[in-house]
Amino acid sequence: MQKIPAPNFIVFYNGTERDEDYWINYLSESYENQTGGPNLELKVLTLNINEGHNCELMEQYQILREYAQYVAKVRENAREADLDTAVEQAVNDCIQNGILAEFLRKNKSEVITMSIFEYDKEEEERKLREAEYEAGYNSGRRDGYSSGRQDGLNLGIAEGKREIIRLMHNAGEPVEKIAQYTGCEVEELKKLLN
């Protein structure tokens, strides 16, 4: 057996849904129809590289820190302007403030195009998850309402039937006549009335 260096897998996260500095993901979390333990496992350390997270890491890696500042600037601008304007304004602000300045000057149009695409993709995925959640919620609510309504109706009918049986029995009607009017079996009525 050949010896190989021990691998470490790291993912940089700059989404908006998680707030932790870091977490562990396992490849097996994405397996479908898994039975028993996974035959292949991969442990991945995910590091949040949004502004304000993993400060020690950001201090050590200037480019990563500046990238986080750029992303934060795009998000801040996007709250007040359309996406195209927000990205272009963020690129210009960053160049002016020395954030990724050389890279942004050299690759300005590509960065703007790619940032708009990625931001749109992230927003579309968020909207899709939101719509799927809402559809599931509404479907569950409709099914629950329908099922609850039917259960309530069945319970009401059963209670009404028992009340009719009780009233007929108290009025002195014979069990056979009660069975005829309620559709119950005579033996079932005898048990119920006892």
Give per-residue pLDDT as tens, 108-158: 888 888 887 776 566 656 666 776 777 777 777 777 777 777 777 777 777
pLDDT for position 105: 92
Nearest to 115 by CA among 74, 81, 63: 74
How buried is 75 (Cβ within 10 angstroms: 0-12 exposed, 13-18 middle, 19+ buried)?
middle
Is 79 inside a domain boundary? yes
Give the tens place of pLDDT for each residue, 151-193. Answer: 777 777 777 777 777 777 788 878 887 777 777 788 887 777 7
pLDDT bucket at 43, cuts 50 / 70 / 90 = very high
Q: Are residues 13 and 92 in the same domain?
A: no
Is 172 inside a domain boundary? no
pLDDT at residue 60 greater than cutoff 80:
yes
Q: Are residues 115 and 47 in the same domain?
A: no
- 3-state class of 154 per DSSP? helix
Q: Whole domain around residue 45: which residue ranges?
A: 7-27+40-56
pLDDT-wise least confident of 76-90, 96-110, 148-162: 148-162
Total structural domains within the chain: 2
Q: Are residues 66 and 157 in the same domain?
A: yes
Is 107 inside a domain boundary? yes
Q: Give the DSSP H or E segment for 35.
A: none
The 8-class DSSP code of residue 11 comes to: E
Residue 44's beta-bridge partner residues? 9, 25
Contact 179, 189 (CB under 8 A): yes
Count the alpha carbons within 13 Å of 176 in the hemisphere toward its beta carbon. 0
pTM beyond 0.85: the answer is no
pLDDT for position 130: 73
Q: Are residues 13 and 51 in the same domain?
A: yes
**Cα–Cα distance measured from residue 110 to residue 1, given in angstroms and rounded to the nearest whole number:** 46
Q: Are residues 49 and 114 in the same domain?
A: no
Residue environment code for 108-128, b if the CB has 16+ CB neighbours within 10 A, otherwise e:
eeebbeebbeebeeeeeeeee
Q: Are residues 65 and 51 in the same domain?
A: no
Give the tens place of pLDDT for each residue, 61-73. Answer: 999 999 999 999 9
pLDDT for position 136: 76
Is 92 inside a domain boundary? yes
Is 167 inside a domain boundary? no
Q: Are residues 109 and 69 in the same domain?
A: yes
Q: Are residues 129 and 71 in the same domain?
A: yes
Q: Are residues 130 and 49 in the same domain?
A: no
Q: Are residues 48 and 89 in the same domain?
A: no
pLDDT for position 24: 96
Q: Are residues 77 and 156 in the same domain?
A: yes
